[in-house]
């Protein structure tokens, strides 16, 4: 049962910038944090509440904010990585307090967070959206290998520093260099479709220049995708392109001096065996998990994610704590598209709790989307909700299990603009576009 707190009065507040306490503290200035902060602000204003400068604070030490889905486009040689980066401060409105620090520890019993500079920030409500942690060091030899991507022929689109190096390797690759290997780890990752996107995009480029490279997708997962409808379609696409696959193969070591990748077999008769695969090019998607500060906190579930109700996004123990995005325990794919459905639910329920002491009626159904590039000029738009059930926006008009050129241009050319002009400002609601969902008042 959630620990309840008193409802707020509607009176004007003293500026949080002068008192040091905030009505709402948002941990993280990524897609989830920015969308949630802006939607909470808009909801409070719409309800007639008077807000002072700094009543809502965003805690994030990063200098930049990246549109990370764009890194696939960068790795495919179709855009410059700088096009997908903005100064974080430029995305935070002046009426928000921007606290340039990281959350070091959470003390929900005292409604406070200790920051990386040793200071503490107090809140009435807390939104936890710091993203997840990329664990490069959990693969033996990977940090050493990826420190010099060109020399070691190892790269990844999961880093701003190496996304463009991926394209350099793809563009200059020759068949005599050997097998091109593309990996996906076992477990949750940001945008679970991205690991195989680079497989298809590299293959598409090589075939366009008659470069007969042999490629393999080595994944720690048992299938191409978690949703059966799209998994079957993607496997058929892979086979039609003549691309190899090794399922239940989890990358555990990279030996750059030998150009060898070592995988552990996770299932079947060979479970536990180590398999060595020589490579000429290795595209690595590293394992990911909850941030250490979240994992060690009272907010975490057994796996280390922020323990929230799957429908309301309210913490299962602390009623004035909410979470969304990659850091949350929500059992859905961790994507920017998921944020568009999560943020309005969180904002409605948090503001309802402020006003009444009870969480609102909005319920998140797990909607998320994975736009999967399957080659230059083609994209499969996977959309689904909890239970791996498809929830398709355009399913009445087209078969979304088949690649589509229109979806390709929407994802490559339109969505990046929508992201910066609307999503992070709290004005984009996924399939509903600019029209926010309407929830029944509490």
Catalytic residues: 191, 370
> E-assigned strands of 41-176?
56-59, 64-66, 85-87, 96-99, 103-107, 112-115, 120-128, 133-134, 154-155
CA distance 385 to 67: 23
Q: At which residue do the structure tokens 């994975």 appear?
A: 370
Q: What residue ranges in 233-367 does DSSP mark as E strands?
A: 244-246, 249-255, 260-265, 274-278, 281-283, 288-289, 321-323
Q: What is the 3-state secondary structure (H, E, C) of 365-406?
A: CCCEEEEEEEECCEEEEEEEEHHHEECCCCCCCCCCCCCEHH
Residues whose CB is less than 8 angstroms from the CB of residue 413 and which lie 6 or more positions away in sequence, other chains included: none
Of residues 327, 440, 357, the one with CA closest to residue 27: 327
Question: Helix, strand or coil for residue 181?
Answer: strand
Cα–Cα–Cα angle for 34, 38, 42, nearest 5°?
170
Is the four-CA dihedral 227, 229, 230, 236 of positive or negative sign?
positive
Q: Please tell me the distance from the alpha carbon of residue 190 to that of residue 249, in angstroms, as a whole number.
A: 19
Gap between the Cα atoms of 366 and 413, Å rounded = 26
Angle between helices 31-46 and 336-356 (to 10 degrees): 40
User: What number of other Cβ atoms are within 10 A of residue 405's Cβ?
Assistant: 10
> Partners of 124 in the beta sheet?
none
DSSP codes of every residue in 66-94: E-TTHHHHHHTTSS-GGGGEEEGGGGS-T
What lies within 8 Å, CB to CB, of 111 at 6+ separation is: 122, 123, 124, 126, 320
Strands, DSSP E only, in 129-270?
133-134, 154-155, 180-184, 215-219, 244-246, 249-255, 260-265
Distance of alpha carbon 254 from alpha carbon 277, whole angstroms: 10
């Amino acid at each position: 049962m959630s620990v309840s707190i008193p409802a707020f009065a509607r009176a004007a507040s003293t500026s949080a910038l002068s008192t040091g306490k905030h009505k709402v503290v948002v941990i993280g200035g990524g897609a989830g944090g920015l969308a949630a902060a802006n939607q909470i602000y808009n909801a409070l204003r719409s309800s007639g509440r008077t807000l002072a400068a700094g009543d809502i604070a965003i805690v994030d030490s990063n200098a930049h904010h990246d549109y990370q889905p764009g890194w696939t486009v960068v790795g495919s040689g179709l855009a410059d990585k700088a096009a997908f980066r903005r100064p974080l401060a430029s995305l935070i409105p002046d009426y928000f307090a921007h606290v340039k620090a990281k959350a070091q520890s959470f003390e929900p019993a005292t409604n406070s967070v200790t920051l990386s500079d040793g200071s503490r920030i107090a809140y009435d409500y807390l939104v936890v959206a710091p993203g997840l942690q990329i664990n490069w060091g959990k693969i033996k030899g990977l940090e050493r290998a990826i420190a010099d991507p060109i020399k070691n022929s190892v790269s990844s689109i999961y880093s701003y520093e190496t996304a463009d190096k991926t394209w350099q390797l793809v563009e200059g690759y020759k068949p005599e260099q050997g097998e091109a290997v593309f990996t996906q780890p076992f477990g949750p990752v940001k945008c679970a479709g991205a690991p195989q996107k680079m497989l298809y995009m590299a293959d598409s480029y090589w075939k366009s220049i008659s470069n007969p490279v042999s490629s393999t997708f080595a994944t720690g997962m048992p299938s191409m995708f978690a949703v059966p409808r799209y998994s079957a379609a993607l496997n058929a696409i892979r086979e039609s392109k003549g691309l190899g696959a090794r399922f239940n193969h989890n990358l555990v070591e990279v030996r750059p001096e030998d150009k060898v990748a070592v995988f552990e077999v996770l299932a079947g008769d060979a479970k536990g065996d180590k398999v060595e695969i020589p490579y000429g090019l290795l595209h690595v998607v590293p394992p990911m998990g909850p941030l250490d500060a979240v994992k060690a906190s009272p907010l975490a579930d057994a796996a280390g994610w922020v323990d929230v109700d799957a429908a309301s996004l309210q913490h299962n123990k602390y009623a004035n704590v909410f979470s969304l995005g990659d850091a949350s325990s929500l059992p859905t794919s961790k994507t920017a598209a998921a944020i568009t459905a999560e943020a309005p639910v969180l904002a409605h329920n948090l503001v309802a709790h402020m006003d009444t002491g009870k969480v609102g009626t909005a319920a998140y159904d797990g909607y998320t989307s994975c736009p999967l590039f399957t080659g230059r000029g083609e994209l499969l738009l996977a959309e689904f909700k909890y239970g791996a059930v498809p929830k398709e926006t355009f399913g009445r008009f087209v078969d979304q299990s088949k690649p589509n050129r229109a979806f390709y241009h929407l994802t490559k050319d339109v969505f990046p603009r929508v992201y910066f002009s609307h999503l992070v400002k709290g004005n984009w609601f996924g399939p509903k576009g600019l029209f926010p969902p309407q929830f029944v008042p509490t």
